[in-house]
Chains A and B, each alone.
Chain A
Amino acid sequence: MVKVRLEGLKKYFDKVKAVNDIDLEIIPGEFVVLLGPSGCGKTTLLRCISGLERVTEGRIFFDNDNITYLSPKDRNISMVFQNYAVWPHMTVKNNIAFPLRIKKYSQHQIQEKVIWAVNLLGIDNLLDRYPAQLSGGQRQRVAVARAIVMEPRVLLMDEPLSNLDALLRVRMRAEIKKLQEKLKVTTIYVTHDQVEAMTMGDRIAVLEQGIIQQFGSSDDIYHNPVNTFVAGFVGSPQMNFIEVEMVHKNEMFCLRAKGLEVPIVDNLKDKVSKLSSKRNYILGIRPEHIYLTGRAQTDKVATTKGKVYFAELLRSDTVIHLEKEFGLLVIKSPGDLKIEEGKELEVLIDLSRIHLFEKDTSKTIF
Chain B
Amino acid sequence: MISFSRREKNWIPYLLFLPALIYLAGFIGYPLVKTLQLAFTSEEGKVGIENFITLTRDSTFWKALKNTLYLLIAIVPLQVILAFLLALFVNGRFKGYMTVLYIICIPLALSDVSAALMSYNIFTSHGFLNKLLMKFGFIDAPIYFFGLGLSSRAFWVIVLTELWRATPLVFIILLASLQVISKDYFEAADVFGFSSWQKFIHITLPLTMPSLQSALLIRTLFAFQIFAVVWLLSGRDIPILAGEVYYQQAELINFRLAATYGFIIALICILLSWVYLTFLKTKHLEV
Which A residues fall within an 8 A CB radius of B? 54, 56, 69-71, 74
Closest to B9 in A: A54
- For A69, what are the chain B residues with a Cβ–Cβ distance below 8 Å? 3-5
Bound CA span A54–B9, Å = 9
- For A71, what are the chain B residues with a Cβ–Cβ distance below 8 Å? 2-4
Bound CA span A230–B247, Å = 78
Query: Could you tell me the dominant secondary structure of chain A's interface residues?
Result: loop
Closest to B4 in A: A69
- For A56, what are the chain B residues with a Cβ–Cβ distance below 8 Å? 6
Q: How far is the CB of A57 from chain B (nearest CB, A)?
A: 10
Interface membership of B1, Cβ < 8 A: yes
Q: How far is the CB of A227 from chain B (nearest CB, A)?
A: 33
B9:A74 contact, CB within 8 angstroms: no
- For A54, what are the chain B residues with a Cβ–Cβ distance below 8 Å? 6, 9
Query: Could you tell me the dominant secondary structure of chain B's interface residues?
Result: loop
Given contacts A56-B6, A70-B3, 8 further A-B contacts (CB under 8 A): A54-B6, A54-B9, A70-B1, A70-B2, A71-B2, A71-B3, A74-B1, A74-B2
Could you name 14 residue pairs across A and B whose Cβ atoms are closer than 8 Å?
Answer: A54-B6, A54-B9, A56-B6, A69-B3, A69-B4, A69-B5, A70-B1, A70-B2, A70-B3, A71-B2, A71-B3, A71-B4, A74-B1, A74-B2
Interface size on B, residues (CB 8 A): 7
Bound CA span A285–B79, Å = 70
Closest to B10 in A: A54
Q: How far is the CB of B7 from chain A (nearest CB, A)?
A: 10
- For B4, what are the chain A residues with a Cβ–Cβ distance below 8 Å? 69, 71
Q: How far is the CB of A289 from chain B (nearest CB, A)?
A: 44
- For B2, what are the chain A residues with a Cβ–Cβ distance below 8 Å? 70-71, 74
Bound CA span A56–B5, Å = 11
Which 5 A-B pairs rank lowest in CB-CB distance, beginning with the nearest? A69-B3, A74-B1, A71-B2, A54-B6, A54-B9
Bound CA span A74–B6, Å = 17
- For A70, what are the chain B residues with a Cβ–Cβ distance below 8 Å? 1-3
Binary A-proximity of B1-30 (CB < 8 A = 1, otherwise 0)? 111111001000000000000000000000
- For B9, what are the chain A residues with a Cβ–Cβ distance below 8 Å? 54
Closest to A56 in B: B6
Closest to B5 in A: A69
Q: How far is the CB of B169 from chain A (nearest CB, A)?
A: 33
Q: How far is the CB of A324 from chain B (nearest CB, A)?
A: 40
Closest to B1 in A: A74
- For B6, what are the chain A residues with a Cβ–Cβ distance below 8 Å? 54, 56
Q: How far is the CB of B267 from chain A (nearest CB, A)?
A: 39
Bound CA span A54–B10, Å = 10
Closest to A74 in B: B1
Q: Which residues in window 179-206 of B have CB below 8 A to A?
A: none
- For B5, what are the chain A residues with a Cβ–Cβ distance below 8 Å? 69
